[in-house]
Structure 1
Amino acid sequence: MQAFTLTQPVGPALPVLASIPHSGTYVPDDIRVLFANKSVAHLPMTDWFLYHLYDFLPGLGVSVVAANVSRYVIDMNRSPLPLELYPGRFETKLVADSDFQGRSIFSSYPSQQQIDLYTQQVHVPYHRALQQCLTSLQQAHGKVYLFDLHSIAKSATLIHAELDKDIYLGDRDGNSCSGQWTQMIADEFMQHKFSVQKNQPYKGGYITHHYGQDANVEALQIEMNQEVYMQSEHAGDAQLAVQSQRFIQAKTRLEALFVALLESLEH
């Protein structure tokens, strides 16, 4: 079981790292047999196809760490220790027991032994890779920019009403990166005709919170409405999704956006 895929940049590395923690789809048999029903086995909380959507990033000089293992096994964007990211609000755990609609995921919750095993085999290696990349880039450049990339279905959940924006930026209310950097990203998205909202309903998860505590890391979560790049009926079918006009057009817009953004970092 390979916990993640690390894709190194083509050519010189920019001081930019992308994390994709929720696109993994691998579920070991000992976890899959615990699922409450067949609909859970379709992994509806997955951030579908982001590895494909952002596969242009290494060609622009960006390092990418992407999870291969599903968040239904262990969530790379949650702390292994008790940590409320949204006090007083619904949020999923290191191993989620219910989905965003409050429906049970497991007929029998994984044992502590299983949770400990996948923490060591999946969560720890993923974060080790992130930290090693950040350290290497810091040694070469000083300041590093971390993008934690996500997507979410537009439908209403226990967290939010039906989504009406394209992009939701989270900087932990200005604590994981500078407000100036967040606004620069927001402006770039808006210039490329994406609608944007900041810190509502998503402020950033554990990755943004944890790595953004480093003064030399500007950590920002980018949550994308899945309507921007895919049709809901394509969930789980990469071949159909990535060949659709919606996907191709969204990817083209995103690549143009990142080209402009990364050029601004080099000047």
Structure 2
Amino acid sequence: MTGEFELFEVREPQTQSIPFVYNSPHSGRRYPARFLDQSRLDGLAIRRSEDHYVEELFGAAPDFGAPLLLAHFPRAFVDVNREPYELDPRMFFDPVPSFANINSVRVAGGLGTIPRIVAENTEIYAKRLPVAEALERIETVYKPYHACLRKLIARTHARFGFGVLVDCHSMPGNIRIAGSGIRPDFIIGDRYGTSASAELSQAALEFLEGLGFVAVRNKPYAGGFITEHYGRPARGLHAVQIEVNRALYVDETTLAKRGDFGALAGSIAVFMQQMAEFVADYAGDTALAAE
């Protein structure tokens, strides 16, 4: 089913010189033929859940000395920013395993490990699936992806004594901050201070604001499974999620890049450089190395 293309890749720097790992788990846009046959959606509608071109926005990471892991498989096929077995029983014509988490908020919303919907509550499938197919996707896509991510994080931590995972995403252009009406350009998520040090998150906000963007922290996106699972500040492992407003760089109807796409990518490259310099300056600070 998934042998028709490379599932994911790591774009490595010539030498990893900074304690960062960049990850783009939702920007994949290679759709397995069988999956498309199972879907009731056309080729454009099924792409609504993608983090469009995020791996390109953060594509300079290797130039600064950090690896970039990116998915080629689409989020609608398997969502690696979930627990491994968040499964919706309504999607399958046979019972899900007893160990599956069927009661999570994400499952209830149709956005489990095997999503039931794409954006705007649009159902993906024309009919129910065999649960064996979901388990195969988890074994052949989800688990290898996380094994690769764990290896990159462990290598970084071993080499530098601490590490920073930046989990890169995009968000719909109509997102507003409740009670204020503010439309953020970027959201930094650190699971309300549990996945990364406050100093790191605050630095990210200040750098983005210094570049002229509206940046907020944790609301409405505080980080998903990846941020929560890999962020261990007490061990010197920090994980932040960064959401980029799609309206800044893509036409959300046609999914075509806007003319200022390159300028935004350039600003993000400056941000990455600033983050690298910030961590280098504080490499011996216990607030970062082991909070």
Q: Normalising by the residue count of structure 1, what TM-score does the alignment of the two structures yield? A: 0.88
- 1:56, distance to aligned residue in structure 2 (A): 1.0
Aligned residues: 260
The structure-2 alpha-carbon separation of the partners of 1:59 and 1:23, relative to structure 1 and needing over 3 Å to count, comes to same
**Conserved 8 A contact 2:175-2:184:** no
After TM superposition, the structure 1 = structure 2 runs for residues 37-76 of structure 1, keeping only pairs within 5 Å, are 37-38=41-42, 42-76=46-80
Is 1:18 aligned with 2:37?
Answer: no
User: What is the identity, as a one-letter code, of the residue corresponding to 2:17?
Assistant: A
The structure-2 alpha-carbon separation of the partners of 1:103 and 1:234, relative to structure 1 and needing over 3 Å to count, comes to closer
Is 1:231 aligned with 2:245?
Answer: no
Considering only CA atoms, is the larger Rg found in Structure 1 or Structure 2? 2
- 1:87, distance to aligned residue in structure 2 (A): 7.8
- 1:85 and 1:185 mapped to 2: Cα distance? 30
Q: Deviations for 1:50-79, whole angstroms, at most 9, x for unmatched residues?
A: 122211110001111000101111101111
User: What is the identity, as a one-letter code, of the residue corresponding to 2:41?
Assistant: N
Is 1:217 aligned with 2:221?
Answer: no
Structure 2 counterpart SS, 1:38: coil
- 1:245 and 1:12 mapped to 2: Cα distance? 32
Q: 196, 199, 220: which one pairs with 1:177?
A: 196
The structure-2 alpha-carbon separation of the partners of 1:183 and 1:85, relative to structure 1 and needing over 3 Å to count, comes to farther
Structure 2 counterpart SS, 1:165: coil
The structure-2 alpha-carbon separation of the partners of 1:217 and 1:91, relative to structure 1 and needing over 3 Å to count, comes to farther
The structure-2 alpha-carbon separation of the partners of 1:77 and 1:18, relative to structure 1 and needing over 3 Å to count, comes to same
The structure-2 alpha-carbon separation of the partners of 1:41 and 1:110, relative to structure 1 and needing over 3 Å to count, comes to farther
Q: Deviations for 1:35-58, whole angstroms, at most 9, x for unmatched residues?
A: 122266541110111122211110
> 5+ residue gaps in structure 1?
none
Q: Normalising by the residue count of structure 2, what TM-score does the alignment of the two structures yield? A: 0.81
Structure 1 counterpart SS, 2:10: strand
- 1:109, distance to aligned residue in structure 2 (A): 3.5
Q: Deviations for 1:83-102, whole angstroms, at most 9, x for unmatched residues?
A: 67758984611011123322
- 1:218 and 1:86 mapped to 2: Cα distance? 25
Q: Deviations for 1:106-155, whole angstroms, at most 9, x for unmatched residues?
A: 11243211111111111111101110011111111111000000012213
The structure-2 alpha-carbon separation of the partners of 1:116 and 1:226, relative to structure 1 and needing over 3 Å to count, comes to same
After TM superposition, the structure 1 = structure 2 runs for residues 72-91 of structure 1, keeping only pairs within 5 Å, are 72-82=76-86, 90=109
Aligned equivalent of 2:280: 266
Is 1:7 aligned with 2:21?
Answer: no
Is 1:139 aligned with 2:158?
Answer: yes
After TM superposition, the structure 1 = structure 2 runs for residues 120-131 of structure 1, keeping only pairs within 5 Å, are 120-131=139-150
The structure-2 alpha-carbon separation of the partners of 1:79 and 1:60, relative to structure 1 and needing over 3 Å to count, comes to same
- 1:254 and 1:57 mapped to 2: Cα distance? 10
RMSD: 2.6
User: What is the identity, as a one-letter code, of the residue corresponding to 1:75?
Assistant: D
Structure 2 counterpart SS, 1:33: helix
- 2:36 and 2:203 mapped to 1: Cα distance? 42
- 1:121 and 1:79 mapped to 2: Cα distance? 15
Is 1:200 aligned with 2:206?
Answer: no
The structure-2 alpha-carbon separation of the partners of 1:204 and 1:142, relative to structure 1 and needing over 3 Å to count, comes to same
- 1:163 and 1:21 mapped to 2: Cα distance? 27
Q: 237, 241, 264: which one pairs with 1:250?
A: 264
Is 1:113 aligned with 2:127?
Answer: no
The structure-2 alpha-carbon separation of the partners of 1:13 and 1:114, relative to structure 1 and needing over 3 Å to count, comes to farther
User: What is the identity, as a one-letter code, of the residue corresponding to 2:268?
Assistant: L
